[in-house]
Copies of this chain bind each other. A is one copy, B any other.
């Protein structure tokens, strides 16, 4: 008796995408059983789809039989937001060269900051962010600066939720945090002190596009440098202006693929 307990209403497409997303939360490679479990699919269904994805190079199979995301997917995805990254990358690079500190560029994705680019040398390794990674906005300098210059309704929506608290230093009182954002708007930069993880602090300035906030440009430093953090402000502001210039000609919509786009 085949097909006894199929779960109707689930499209093939959604199953394929669920398989790909199964790799999001996992550090390393997954076995077929892992994939089936994470994506909520019967083993044999997962097996069939995983094989097809592997044939297309969207998954790859290691000699030990486990799967991971394939290079084909990575190659394709490099086309996303390429204009923004190509335009901004050399300047983020310059920011690192001039300061010697980990430099990064981030945009807003829903209620998170999404790190678009990150430059760091082999010496320092205070790593909380990573390219393609997300962090809560209220805990990072780039996030605060983006939120501070966002439209009111975005800020209000953000403050209307319970705020995560990665460390004891994270600011989570909505009223105080709203004041902090007002001050950031006034002074033109944001800072954090051990609000994502102990031992590191950060400073960030806004990057505008067509008059609206577009991204945050920031530095992460060890807490020991916190007191002299603001001395990097002139460089940060200078680089931000250069990124603004470099991206000004690029239409907003094509900067990065973030519109969810409505139907009908």
Contact = CB atoms under 8 A, between A and B. Distances in A.
A53 B122 contact: no
Given A51-B263, A263-B51, A80 B73 contact: yes
B13 A49 contact: yes
Interface string A60-93: 1111100111110111111111100010011101
Given A12-B12, A122-B93, A258 B71 contact: yes
Given A13-B53, A97-B97, A242-B122, A258 B60 contact: yes
Interface of A: 11-14, 16-17, 20-21, 23-24, 28-29, 49, 51-64, 67-71, 73-82, 86, 89-91, 93-94, 96-97, 109, 114, 119-122, 130-134, 242, 253-254, 256-263
Copies of this chain held together in the complex:
2
Nearest to A134: B75
A244 to B, nearest CB: 14
Given A54-B263, A93-B96, A93-B119, 5 more contacts: A14-B56, A28-B254, A60-B260, A69-B80, A78-B130
3 closest Cβ pairs, A-B complex: A61-B261, A78-B132, A77-B77
A89 B125 CA distance: 12
A240 to B, nearest CB: 13
B75 A73 contact: no
26 contacts: A13-B16, A13-B53, A14-B52, A14-B56, A17-B53, A21-B76, A24-B75, A61-B259, A63-B253, A67-B261, A68-B80, A68-B257, A69-B77, A70-B258, A71-B80, A71-B81, A71-B256, A73-B73, A74-B257, A75-B132, A77-B132, A86-B130, A91-B122, A93-B121, A93-B122, A94-B121
A132 B242 CA distance: 25
A16 B20 CA distance: 13
Contacts of A73: 73, 76-77, 80, 257
A71 B120 contact: no
